[in-house]
């Protein structure tokens, strides 16, 4: 066996897709290991069987039709039953192939491909589980760190209060520390309620413009000391999605406040909404909400980590806001992206139109 044949054989035998090649009379010429596993019979056993009994009569009839019409066909969500009566969910692609001999084109073979849906689902679920486990590990590690800091402050303040010869002004100061650190802990714990699964039946039709305008009013009240212009642009009168309005406002407030925080003294923020009909999200047009600022910008390395729990570029930040925002938008079948071009930072929220 030369190297080319060796590599070809290695690829065919290890591919996660069942392959059978038969002649026009459905005599088996080749079958790889994955196909044998899916069908539940060995190559020698299949060669001794009537081909009708390999897949069952219905699939056999479809293969015959493809051979007669010389056109390919895909059979979706088919359940194969092996000799042990086990069911395996597959897609079957039947592809009559041509053979050229002495400048004459003739039909000679039929290629049958088996796509193992269960195997792919298991692999997908395992990868998803690994990703979620990694996120939860980061989450709990960061949470432990964030809880430890205020607890240390509370403990230190309590020890001073309980010490001998403590002065009244020291007690007042320590009491303030205990109160502020307790409040910080409370806010941190309350934040995590937004990670709870939502009941989609409780979602309502929300006007995106209303949610954004409400969020802008709140942010403007909190940022009066800066010379920042904030404008809202919309290219359509009404954009509706099915969601929870209060959760949406949490996201918009967080993104707009981040834009304010990135501007030192003066600058501009633009919030822009538009409907994109060129691309589909879950078979629906999607709404694009952009929050653009001309603040200090974000490095490319930081952008890659922005949505990770407890990652922050702020001195006083907890690094939980963008993580929570992404998870909230995910609840509504959307997602958030961030880019920075020439110190102009753009956060884009994608949501499916109702």
* Domain ranges for the chain: 3-120, 200-354
User: In this predicted structure, what is the pLDDT of residue 20?
Assistant: 93
What's the average model confidence in pLDDT over 302-311?
81
Write down the pTM of the prediction. Answer: 0.55
Q: Do 317 and 298 touch, CB atoms closer than 8 A?
A: no
CA distances from 200 to 34, 108, 250 (A): 40, 54, 18
The architecture (CATH level 2) of 200-354 comes to 2-Layer Sandwich (3.30)
Helix axes 245-262, 208-222, angle to 10 degrees: 40
Q: What is the mean pLDDT of the chain?
A: 81
State the pLDDT confidence band at 177, using cuts at 50, 70 and 90: confident
CA distances from 190 to 150, 187, 197, 236, 340 (A): 15, 5, 15, 36, 31
Quick: pLDDT tens for 12-71.
777 878 999 998 889 999 999 888 888 888 899 889 888 888 888 899 999 999 888 888
Tokens of 241: 């999605």
Residue 106 has pLDDT above 80, yes or no: no
Helix axes 245-262, 321-331, angle to 10 degrees: 150
State the pLDDT confidence band at 252, using cuts at 50, 70 and 90: very high
State the pLDDT confidence band at 105, using cuts at 50, 70 and 90: low
State the pLDDT confidence band at 291, using cuts at 50, 70 and 90: very high
User: Is beta strand 87-101 parallel, antiparallel or unpaired with respect to 104-116?
Assistant: antiparallel
- Domain spanning 3-120, CATH class: alpha beta
User: In this predicted structure, what is the pLDDT of residue 273?
Assistant: 92
Tokens of 135: 């996120």
Quick: pLDDT tens for 113-169.
998 876 555 555 556 566 666 666 666 766 676 677 678 888 888 888 888 888 888
């Amino acid at each position: 066996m030369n190297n080319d044949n060796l590599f070809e054989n290695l690829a065919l035998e290890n591919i996660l897709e069942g392959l059978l090649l038969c002649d026009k009379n459905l005599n088996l010429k080749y079958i790889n290991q994955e196909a044998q596993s899916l069908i539940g019979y060995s190559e020698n056993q299949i060669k001794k069987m009537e081909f009708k009994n390999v897949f069952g009569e219905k699939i056999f009839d479809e293969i015959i039709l493809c051979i007669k019409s010389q056109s390919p066909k895909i059979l979706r969500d088919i359940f194969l039953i092996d000799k042990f009566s086990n069911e395996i969910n597959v897609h079957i692609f039947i592809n009559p192939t041509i053979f050229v001999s002495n400048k004459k084109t003739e039909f000679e073979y039929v290629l049958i491909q088996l796509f193992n849906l269960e195997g792919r689902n298991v692999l997908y679920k395992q990868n998803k589980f690994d990703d979620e486990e990694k996120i939860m590990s980061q989450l709990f590690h960061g949470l432990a760190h964030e809880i430890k800091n205020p607890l240390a402050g509370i403990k230190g303040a309590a020890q001073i209060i309980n010490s001998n010869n403590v002065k009244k002004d020291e007690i007042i100061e320590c009491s303030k520390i205990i109160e502020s650190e307790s409040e910080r802990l409370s806010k941190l714990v309350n934040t995590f309620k937004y990670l709870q699964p939502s009941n989609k039946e409780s979602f309502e039709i929300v006007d995106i413009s209303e949610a954004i305008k409400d969020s802008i009013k709140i942010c403007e009240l909190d940022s009066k000391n800066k010379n920042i212009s904030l404008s809202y642009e919309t290219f359509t009168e009404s954009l509706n999605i099915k969601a929870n309005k209060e959760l949406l406002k949490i996201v918009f407030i967080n993104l707009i406040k981040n834009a304010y925080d990135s501007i030192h003294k003066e600058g501009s923020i633009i919030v822009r909404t538009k409907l994109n009909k060129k691309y589909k999200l879950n078979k629906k047009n999607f709404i694009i909400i952009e929050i653009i600022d001309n603040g200090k910008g974000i490095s490319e390395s930081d952008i890659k980590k922005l949505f990770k729990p407890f990652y922050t570029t702020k001195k006083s930040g907890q690094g939980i806001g963008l993580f929570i925002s992404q998870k909230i938008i995910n609840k509504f079948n959307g997602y958030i992206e961030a880019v920075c071009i020439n110190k102009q930072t753009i956060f884009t929220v994608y949501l499916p139109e109702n």
